[in-house]
Structure 1
Amino acid sequence: MIPTEFEELLSPAGRRVLSGRDPTLCGALADPRRRFFAHEGLIKKSAAEALRKTLEREMLPLLTDLSMPIPPETIWEMQHNYEEWLPKTVRVKTATLESKRAKSHARAKELGLIDLLSSESFVAFAEAIAGRKLNRKGGQQVLCYGPGDYAGPHNDHHPEDRGYEKGYLDIHLSLGSPAIAHQYLVYAKSGHFTEIVPVHGLGTLTVYRLPFWHLTTPLKAKPGREKDARRWVLLGTFGFKDGGR
Structure 2
Amino acid sequence: MSRTAIPTEFEDLLSATGRRVLAGAHPLCGALANPRTRFLAKADLIDRSKAERVRRALEASLVDELELMERPIPPESISAMRHDYGELLPKTSRARTIYFESRRERGVKAAERIGLARMMRSASFRAFAEALVGRRLAAGWGLQVLRYGPGDYAGPHNDHHPENKDARSGYIDLHLSLCSQGVAHQWLVYSRAGHFSEIVSVAQPATVTAYRLPFWHYTTPLVAKRGKDAARWVLLGTFLYR
The bucket for the TM-score relative to the shorter chain is: over 0.9
Aligned to 1:214: 217
Q: Give the distance between the partners of 1:32 and 1:234, measured in 2 at CA.
A: 25
Q: Give the distance between the partners of 2:98 and 2:203, measured in 1 at CA.
A: 19
* CA apart distance, 1:148: 0.3
Q: What aligned pairs does 1:88-127 form with structure 2 within 5 A after superposition? A: 88-127=91-130
Shifted more, 228-237 versus 101-110: the winner is 101-110
Aligned to 1:240: 241
Could you tell me whether the CA contact under 8 Å between 1:148 and 1:220 is conserved in 2? yes
Deviations 1:179-233 (A, max 9, x none): 00000000000000000000111110000000000000000000111xx200000
Could you tell me whether the CA contact under 8 Å between 1:145 and 1:231 is conserved in 2? yes
Aligned to 2:11: 7
Identity %: 57
Partner-residue secondary structure (3-state), 1:86: coil
Q: Give the distance between the partners of 1:88 and 1:60, measured in 2 at CA.
A: 25
Q: Give the distance between the partners of 1:8 and 1:100, measured in 2 at CA.
A: 25
Q: What aligned pairs does 1:38-53 form with structure 2 within 5 A after superposition? A: 38-53=41-56
Matched, 1:231 2:232: yes
Question: Pairwise CA RMSD of aligned residues?
Answer: 0.8
> TM-score of the superposition, structure 1-length normalised?
0.96
Aligned to 1:63: 66
- The one-letter code of the counterpart of 1:7 is E
Deviant stretches of 4+, over 4 Å: none
Aligned to 2:57: 54
Could you tell me whether the CA contact under 8 Å between 1:97 and 1:108 is conserved in 2? no
Alignment match of 1:26 (pick from 11, 24, 29):
29
Q: Give the distance between the partners of 1:36 and 1:194, measured in 2 at CA.
A: 13
Aligned to 2:194: 191
Alignment match of 1:141 (pick from 131, 139, 144):
144
Could you tell me whether the CA contact under 8 Å between 1:68 and 1:90 is conserved in 2? yes
Q: Give the distance between the partners of 2:123 and 2:99, measured in 1 at CA.
A: 22
Q: Give the distance between the partners of 1:161 and 1:202, measured in 2 at CA.
A: 34
Q: Give the distance between the partners of 1:33 and 1:13, measured in 2 at CA.
A: 24
Aligned to 1:85: 88
Matched, 1:163 2:166: yes
Q: Give the distance between the partners of 1:46 and 1:85, measured in 2 at CA.
A: 44
Deviations 1:33-66 (A, max 9, x none): 2100110000001110000000000001101111
Q: Give the distance between the partners of 2:99 and 2:153, measured in 1 at CA.
A: 19
Instruction: Extract unaligned runs of 5+ from structure 2.
Output: none
* CA apart distance, 1:113: 1.1
Q: Give the distance between the partners of 2:96 and 2:51, measured in 1 at CA.
A: 20
- The one-letter code of the counterpart of 1:93 is R
Partner-residue secondary structure (3-state), 1:29: helix
Alignment match of 1:151 (pick from 150, 154, 163):
154
Instruction: Extract unaligned runs of 5+ from structure 1.
Output: none
* CA apart distance, 1:98: 2.1
Q: Give the distance between the partners of 1:70 and 1:27, measured in 2 at CA.
A: 38
Matched, 1:16 2:17: no
Aligned to 1:174: 177
Partner-residue secondary structure (3-state), 2:163: coil
| Length, aligned pairs only | 238
